[in-house]
Amino acid sequence: MNRKRLYIILVVLIIPISVFILKDEAYSDPINKANSKVTAVKEKGPENKARELRIKVEEGDVFSVIALRAGIDEKQALDLYEKVKSVYDFADLKIGHEFIFNRDENDNLVKIIYNIDDERELIISRENNENWQSRINAIDYEIREKVVEGQLDGSLYESALKQGADEKAVIQFAESLEYSIDFANDPREGDRYKFIYEERYRDGKYVMPGRVLAGAYLNGEKLHQSFYYKTSAGGYDYYDENGNAVQKKFLRAPLSFKYISSPFTLGKRYVDKFGLATKHQAVDYVASAGTPIRAVGDGVVVSAGWSTVGYGNMTKIKHDGVYSTLYAHQSKILVKKGERVSQGQVIGYVGSTGFSTGPHLHLEMSKNGVNINPAQEILPPGKPINANDRDNFNKMLQNMKNKIKI
Ligand SMILES: [Zn+2]
């Protein structure tokens, strides 16, 4: 019995060792064997045996738990926590962010890296077992420019994804144009677009998109363009080709571009257009129940609640002495009468309350008390770029305009 157990233990120990040796043999290159031994010592040195362990923060994780997973005992974890606190508080860990633990050839912990966000990383390190030093570094990405170009056969969103664009970049591009395009009602089949964005790479691997630098969208005959520009004062914004900020008093649609799946089919099927003759002096947006509704502009909620005239759950916002907007048939209202709201703020969700045949958002815009078609309202341009930024802006404009020519 004892002998059998000993045999099992030996087999368990020997198998992994022999596999390791075999693997090592199999991977060594006989021709470069002699040389590689030398270079390995010279160039890589002890780091050959150094280890790197990556751990992602999961729900409910605290630093001590992650440290334990990395083989750091509670006492050392607490010690680290206290030492780093003045630079970064580990109480503020974010789910999905990564820790990298580095150990040297003697299995001593020498470095910890924590990805604080997309721009910064925390580095805690020590040399020769001395005191831990911590600092926050800006992450140094390699930037490549990517051009995405296409023609609409569904929504811009679907089309751009098919062209291999990063979803975040597509959304950024669309958001820079949603003061001039209503992505639910304006797109036509065959519309063309082109945009250019930064891709961030680290160690040769694509990580995420950076800024969309410029974009163009040809809607029927009308060309819409936006250009990213960082001002001399350090601020940044998107501007049109005349140097006016793209942001205007109102967003063109109360639903975010990403919730609008296919404008062509929706247009044919369901959307009730603005019409004085039909007495439908509003724009309807078909969307699934629960889609967030955004305030199209800054303002004050003047009414929020159940309507007695068929609007169901309804919110009305007064934007200034001239304009108001009304959002009807909501499944839920998130704001209260008297509350200030800002442009783009989610004020409720799409529903089918009141006189409604299916989930949609009924939007009315009134000017001096009279309902108007928001699509035809010409709004004043956004804020112009500062005079002292004009020359630099024009240089960028010339360059980018060529790059996004459709
Ligand atoms: Zn309607």
The structural domains of the chain, with segments of one domain joined by +, span: 41-138, 142-248+383-394+397-403, 257-376
* CA–centroid distance, residue 326 to ligand 1 (Å): 11
Nearest 5°: phi and psi at 65? -70, -45
Mean pLDDT of the 358-376 span: 92
Nearest 5°: phi and psi at 201? -115, 150
Question: What is the predicted pLDDT for the residue at 262?
Answer: 53
- From 156, 186, 182, select the one nearest 171 (Cα to Cα): 156
pLDDT bracket for residue 158 (50, 70, 90): confident
Residue 365 predicted with pLDDT over 90: yes
* CA–centroid distance, residue 34 to ligand 1 (Å): 80
Residue 42 predicted with pLDDT over 60: no
* Lookup: tokens for 348: 């409720």
CATH code linked to domain 257-376? 2.70.70.10
142-248+383-394+397-403 and 257-376 have identical folds:
no
Residue 47 predicted with pLDDT over 60: no
Question: What is the predicted pLDDT for the residue at 274?
Answer: 64
Residue 152 predicted with pLDDT over 60: yes
Q: How far apart are CA 138 and CA 120, in angstroms?
A: 5
What percentage of the chain has pLDDT greater than the value 90? 65
User: Cβ contacts of residue 81 below 8 Å, gap of 6+?
Assistant: 63, 64, 90
- Domain 41-138 = CATH 3.60.15.10: no
Query: Cβ distance 224 to 177 under 8 Å?
Result: yes
* CA–centroid distance, residue 263 to ligand 1 (Å): 17
Query: Which class for 106: exposed (0-12), middle (13-18), buried (19 or more C-beta within 10 A)?
Result: exposed
* CA–centroid distance, residue 272 to ligand 1 (Å): 6
Q: How far apart are CA 188 and CA 155, in angstroms?
A: 9
Question: What is the predicted pLDDT for the residue at 38?
Answer: 30
Residue 46 predicted with pLDDT over 50: no
* CA–centroid distance, residue 88 to ligand 1 (Å): 52
* CA–centroid distance, residue 296 to ligand 1 (Å): 17
Which of 204-208, 338-342, 375-379 is the least confident region?
A: 375-379
Question: What is the predicted pLDDT for the residue at 33?
Answer: 34
Q: How far apart are CA 289 and CA 359, in angstroms?
A: 5
Residue 399 predicted with pLDDT over 90: yes
The partner residues of 54 in beta bridges, in order of sequence, read 100
The partner residues of 194 in beta bridges, in order of sequence, read 149, 216
* CA–centroid distance, residue 303 to ligand 1 (Å): 18
- Domain 142-248+383-394+397-403 = CATH 3.10.450.350: yes
* CA–centroid distance, residue 362 to ligand 1 (Å): 4
* CA–centroid distance, residue 201 to ligand 1 (Å): 47
Question: What is the predicted pLDDT for the residue at 273?
Answer: 59
The partner residues of 237 in beta bridges, in order of sequence, read 229
- From 122, 126, 152, select the one nearest 138 (Cα to Cα): 122
What percentage of the chain has pLDDT greater than the value 70? 83
* CA–centroid distance, residue 375 to ligand 1 (Å): 15
The partner residues of 176 in beta bridges, in order of sequence, read none
Whole-structure pTM value: 0.73
The mean pLDDT value of the chain amounts to 85
Query: Cβ distance 185 to 373 under 8 Å?
Result: no
Residue 351 predicted with pLDDT over 90: yes
Residue 34 predicted with pLDDT over 50: no
Provide the b/e sequence for 87-105 (b: ≥16 CB within 10 Å).
Answer: ebebeebeeeeebbbbbbe
Which of 116-130, 187-201, 336-350 is the least confident region?
A: 116-130
Q: Residues 219-277: pLDDT tens digits?
A: 999 999 999 999 988 888 999 999 999 999 999 999 988 777 555 444 433 445 566 55
Highest mean pLDDT among 104-108, 191-195, 279-283: 191-195
Better-predicted residue by pLDDT, 297 or 28:
297
Residues composing the chain: 406
Better-predicted residue by pLDDT, 92 or 224:
224
- From 317, 327, 318, 326, select the one nearest 351 (Cα to Cα): 327
Question: What's the 3-state SS for the chain?
Answer: CHHHHHHHHHHHHHHHHHHHHHHHHHHCCCCCHHHHHHHHHHHHHHHHHCEEEEEECCCCCCHHHHHHHCCCCHHHHHHHHHHHCCCCCCCCCCCCCEEEEEECCCCCEEEEEEECCCCEEEEEECCCCCCCEEEEEECCCEEEEEEEEEECCCCHHHHHHHCCCCHHHHHHHHHCCCCCCCCCCCCCCCCEEEEEEEEEEECCEEEEEEEEEEEEEEECCEEEEEEEEECCCCCEEEECCCCEECCCCCCCCCCCHHHCCCHHHHHHHCCCCCECCCCECCEEEECCCCCEEECCCCEEEEEEEECCCCCCEEEEEECCCCEEEEEEEECEECCCCCCEECCCCEEEECECCCCCCCCEEEEEEEECCEEECHHHCCCCCCCECCHHHHHHHHHHHHHHHHHCCC
Which of 9-18, 186-195, 318-327 is the least confident region?
A: 9-18
Q: What single-letter amino acid sits at 31?
A: I
* CA–centroid distance, residue 338 to ligand 1 (Å): 25
* Lookup: tokens for 178: 């949603």
* CA–centroid distance, residue 280 to ligand 1 (Å): 6
Q: How far apart are CA 355 and CA 72, in angstroms?
A: 63
